[in-house]
Amino acid sequence: MRRTVLALGWLWLGLFLLAPLAIVVTIALSAAGEGMPPYVPPLQWSGGGLKIAVDPGPFQLVLTDPLYRHALAISLRIAFVATLGCLAIGYPMALAIARMPERRRNLLLLLVMLPFWTGFLMRINAWIGLLNDAGWIPRAIAALGLAAAPPRILYTDTAMYLGLVYAYLPFMVLPLYANLSRQDPVLREAASDLGAGPLRAFLTVTLPLSLPGVAAGCALVFIPSVGEYVIPELLGGPGAETIGRTLWSEFFDNRDWPTACALATVVLVLLLGVPALALRAARGRAA
Amino acid sequence: MPSRRRPGPLSGLLTCLLLCLLPFLHPGAARAQSKELNVFNWTDYIDPKAIERFEKETGIKVRYDTFDSLETLEAKMLAGHSGYDIIVPTSQPTFSRLVRTGALATLDKSKLPNLKNLDPALMARVASADPGNAHGAIYLWGSTGMGMIADKIRKLAPDAPLDSWDVLFKPENAKRIASCGITMMDSATDVIPSVLHYLGHSPDSTKPEDLADVEKTLMRIRPYIRNFASGGALEQLASGQTCLVFDYSGDVIQAAARAREAKNGLAITYVAPKQGAQVAFDMLAIPADAPHPDAALAFINFVLQPDVMAGITNATRYPNAVPASNPMIAPEILHDPSIYPTEAQMASFFTTGPVPQSAERPRSRMWARFKAGR
């Protein structure tokens, strides 16, 4: 049984990670050209022999051209802010839910997951309706006297961050909740018996014990935020030239599949470091 | 009796997976016989009644799918096996590139008697993209210019010339209009040739100094651009969220019609700038690997009938290339020079040629810098 489960894991990994990755790397090593598909594969059968023509150009371009470094820097900054935002809102939420009576917890968790029952694109489009110049949120801000005129929110960084935090919040809350609800309440009681106030008990007991959950939540928010295409495209301003949009532009505007694939490979390799770090943080704490 | 081992969950999963893959193995085999047609067209670009009538007359079931940019269409075509029977690429650059890469089927003209309905002068304009008009028939056409809410612009910039690109490309005008909203079409392919032409260069120029000129012009108005719209700014213009857009003629004209229907008091007009606008033809074409090429030919022949074409023009407010349809076109459309341009305008319009791939990277680079404002 155990073997079957393991084999399933490997099969999943092979089919949905390694095989696509192999295809992407192969295209990244090809030369771009007009055709269907628009590149010349590096390995070709010609006249009975295997012809190898690897083009290092796409990788060179991606690694040396400052445009990609800049896009990556923008993406990392956006992901970092979004992760902080999710943490700032998600941690108190998870803590509050974990300390509720058992029967209310399930309802609250259900509410956290409820947005997933509607399509992702639908929800992001709903934000366009809320944030546009005639939308409820700018009008409410003006009606409350916080601004003279309805402020422009849609197509700004504010709108993009709102969308990102909104979309990824459940990915922060759920692992944090899983961690916090498993903590033994006896530990906090012991802290207060020893004279620690609620804040001190939180800082010295609850928070350090929850760090693996924080690491898991941050990794789950950070990684997809770096590659996020839809939210910056639909809500963000034109200045948010993220790695996702750069990739889109290489693939669709330039029809340069090799460069797009080289870029995807580089980002993937960089991002592989994040779960490694998170795993390390989690292990270090658990030991 | 020897006990047979029950198949484990893994083999069940594998079976499912293989079953899922099965239809992809022989895409044509199962479908070729059935009477259906997969159409891939621009959004808001047909008369729904035309499809109903085609289905009724031929018994062919139409599956209708839409795209909002040439980039999307081309990426699907280049990946191959798109499954579509009819696509509607624009003459330059997409249609001509698809012709060159062999992605389109040669039209069997013996099955298209209605090709004779097409205006030979317009078809000749497409021949530079498709020698001998072997791969496509003109569906609708239009120009690329500006959509505007003129009275709002006049209030902000009373002296700006509304019939000229200057209203958009001169920073002193753009600056004053910015508070009302300027929207740029998010397509290097559509915008750069027009700016080149505005600056007096060839719209096909690949010279670095010409491109630098374009970049300077665009960067000067960059601070005043509110947003970039992919797939046109129809909705934003129709709801008055923006006042000045760079867009396709038909998009603007549809936005104007929507604003009239909504009775929101916005008078939207399309302007083909006096410097000359880029004219583009959207072509009915059949992918080389179309699963139902016969149904596709039947569809093209059906669409090229004058009464069908008139219905499509009435619904989309784009001009067609079938002169015999004119008597059936609503007079307010036929006599609107922003839809059917005058002879003089037609003479000022320009078409673009193919851009070599080596020149496209600098163009899209410049475009990325322009969008980011750096």
Q: Tens of pLDDT along A159-179?
A: 999 999 999 999 999 999 999
Q: Which domain holds residue B101?
A: 30-141+280-341
pLDDT tops 80 at residue A283:
no
CA–CA separation, A75 and B171 (whole Å): 31
Are residues B264 and B303 part of one domain? no
CA–CA separation, A209 and A207 (whole Å): 5
Are residues B164 and B107 part of one domain? no
Query: Angle formed by the axes of helices A157-182 and A66-98, to 10°?
Result: 40
Q: Tens of pLDDT along B212-266?
A: 999 999 999 999 998 888 766 888 899 888 999 999 998 898 899 889 988 988 9
Quote the pLDDT of residue A200. Answer: 92
Are residues B61 and B98 part of one domain? yes
Q: Domain with B294 in it: what CATH number? A: 3.40.190.10
Are residues B253 and B305 part of one domain? no
Residue B104 and residue B130 in contact, taking contact as beta carbons nearer than 8 Å: no
Distant-in-sequence, close-in-space partners of A246: CB < 8 Å, separation ≥ 6: A67, A68, A71, A263, B368
Are residues B245 and B367 part of one domain? yes
Contacts with B77 from chain A: Cβ below 8 Å: 36
Are residues B242 and B263 part of one domain? yes
Distance, in angstroms, between A179 CA and closest chain B CA? 31
C-alpha triplet A141, B240, B235: angle, nearest 5°: 105
Run of H or E residues at A43: strand A43-46
CA–CA separation, A43 and A60 (whole Å): 20
Q: Which residue do the tokens 């031929």 mark?
A: B58
Quote the pLDDT of residue A284. Answer: 64
Are residues B68 and B53 part of one domain? yes
Quote the pLDDT of residue B22. Answer: 45
Quote the pLDDT of residue B1. Answer: 38
Quote the pLDDT of residue B4. Answer: 41
DSSP letters of B44-74?
A: T-S-HHHHHHHHHHH-PEEEEEEES-HHHHH
Are residues B301 and B361 part of one domain? no
Asked, for residue B363, whether it belongs to a domain, the answer is yes
Asked, for residue B190, whether it belongs to a domain, the answer is yes
Nearest CB among B80, B101, B241 relative to A34 is that of B101
Are residues B179 and B75 part of one domain? no
Strands (E), chain B: 36-42, 61-67, 86-87, 137-149, 182-185, 227-229, 244-248, 268-271, 278-284
Quote the pLDDT of residue B32. Answer: 46
Residue B373 and residue A155 in contact, taking contact as beta carbons nearer than 8 Å: no
Phi, psi of A182 (to 5 degrees): -85, -15
DSSP letters of B250-316?
A: HHHHHHHHHHHHHT----EEEE--TT--EEEEEEEB-BTT-S-HHHHHHHHHHHTSHHHHHHHHHHH
Q: Tens of pLDDT along A74-83?
A: 999 999 999 9
% of chain A at pLDDT higher than 90: 57
Quote the pLDDT of residue A204. Answer: 92
Q: Tens of pLDDT along B100-155?
A: 999 999 999 999 999 999 999 999 989 988 999 999 999 999 999 999 999 999 99
Quote the pLDDT of residue B3. Answer: 40
Asked, for residue B327, whether it belongs to a domain, the answer is yes
- The size of the A-B interface in CB pairs under 8 A is 76
Are residues B269 and B291 part of one domain? no
Ordered domains of chain A (ranges, CATH): 56-286 (1.10.3720.10)
pLDDT tops 90 at residue A3:
no
- Could B80 and A254 be called an inter-chain contact, meaning their C-beta atoms sit closer than 8 Å? no
Run of H or E residues at A62: helix A57-64
List residues in chain B touching A: CB distance below 8 A: 8-10, 13, 69, 71-72, 74-75, 77-80, 97, 100-103, 188-189, 225-228, 230, 239, 241, 357, 360-361, 364-365, 367-368, 371-373
Quote the pLDDT of residue B227. Answer: 84
Asked, for residue B203, whether it belongs to a domain, the answer is yes
Are residues B185 and B330 part of one domain? no
Contacts with A238 from chain B: Cβ below 8 Å: 225, 227-228, 371-373
Asked, for residue B23, whether it belongs to a domain, the answer is no
Residuewise pLDDT in 10s, chain B (374 residues): 344 444 444 444 444 444 444 444 444 444 444 589 999 999 889 999 999 999 999 999 999 999 888 888 998 998 888 999 999 999 988 999 999 999 999 999 999 999 999 999 999 989 988 999 999 999 999 999 999 999 999 999 999 999 999 999 999 999 999 999 999 998 888 899 999 999 999 999 999 999 999 999 999 999 999 888 876 688 889 988 899 999 999 889 889 988 998 898 899 999 999 999 999 899 999 999 999 999 999 999 999 999 999 999 999 989 999 999 999 999 999 999 889 999 888 889 998 887 787 788 888 889 888 987 87
Q: What is the DSSP code (8-state) at residue B164?
A: S
CA–CA separation, A215 and A87 (whole Å): 10
Are residues B153 and B92 part of one domain? no
Asked, for residue B358, whether it belongs to a domain, the answer is yes
Task: Locate the chain A residue with the closest alpha carbon to B104.
Answer: A36
Contacts with A256 from chain B: Cβ below 8 Å: 361
Asked, for residue B225, whether it belongs to a domain, the answer is yes
CA–CA separation, A75 and A79 (whole Å): 6
Residue A75 and residue A243 in contact, taking contact as beta carbons nearer than 8 Å: yes
- Could A35 and B71 be called an inter-chain contact, meaning their C-beta atoms sit closer than 8 Å? no
pLDDT averaged over chain A? 89
Q: State how many domains chain B has.
A: 2
Distance, in angstroms, between B286 CA and closest chain A CA? 15
Run of H or E residues at B120: helix B120-126
Range with lowest mean pLDDT among A194-198, A234-238, B111-115, B132-136: A234-238
Nearest CB among A11, A33, A155 relative to B227 is that of A155
Phi, psi of B210 (to 5 degrees): -65, -40
